[in-house]
């Protein structure tokens, strides 16, 4: 079954500390993976996609097919990074997204 697992409900760090939000997936075939973010009082929005291999707001994520992981990393967390983060993968041929349960990142001053 296709599944996305985010093992941490809450990740709490201090400003300037490194951040790693974990995401593991199960998918038969070549997955397309994404990170979505929801800041307080804002809409859910796309943060980055693995196929672009880009860095957005200092965040990067590398697809590791051997470990079936797509962890989101940032070397130095900022208070404005505090948000809910969802890992997701595309299922099938119709742009259907399967989401993980989400991890709340809290960055303290």
Partner 1 sequence: DGGITQSPKYLFRKEGQNVTLSCEQNLNHDAMYWYRQDPGQGLRLIYYSQIVNDFQKGDIAEGYSVSREKKESFPLTVTSAQKNPTAFYLCASSGTRGPNSYNEQFFGPGTRLTVL
- Is the Cβ–Cβ distance between 67 and 23 less than 8 Å? no
Question: What residues from 1 to 20 belong to the interface with partner 1 (CB under 8 A)?
Answer: 4, 6, 9
85's enclosing H/E stretch is strand 83-91
Main-chain dihedrals φ then ψ at residue 108, nearest 5 degrees: -100, 145
**93 binds partner 1 per the rule CB under 8 A:** yes
Tell me the closest approach of the beta carbon of residue 46 to partner 1, in angstroms: 5
**43 binds partner 1 per the rule CB under 8 A:** yes
- Is the Cβ–Cβ distance between 59 and 72 less than 8 Å? yes
Positions touching partner 1 (CB under 8 A) are: 4, 6, 9, 32, 34, 43-46, 49, 51, 86, 90, 93-102
């Amino acid at each position: 079954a296709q599944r996305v697992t985010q093992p941490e409900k809450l990740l709490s760090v201090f400003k300037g500390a490194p951040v790693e939000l974990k995401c593991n997936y199960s998918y038969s075939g070549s997955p397309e993976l994404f990170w979505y973010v929801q800041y307080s009082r804002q809409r859910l929005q796309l943060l980055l996609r693995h196929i672009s291999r880009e860095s957005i707001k200092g965040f990067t994520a590398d697809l590791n097919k051997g470990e079936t992981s797509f962890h989101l990393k940032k070397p130095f967390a900022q208070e404005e990074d505090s948000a809910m983060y969802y890992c997701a993968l595309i299922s099938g041929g119709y742009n259907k997204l399967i989401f993980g349960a989400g991890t709340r990142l809290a960055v303290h001053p």
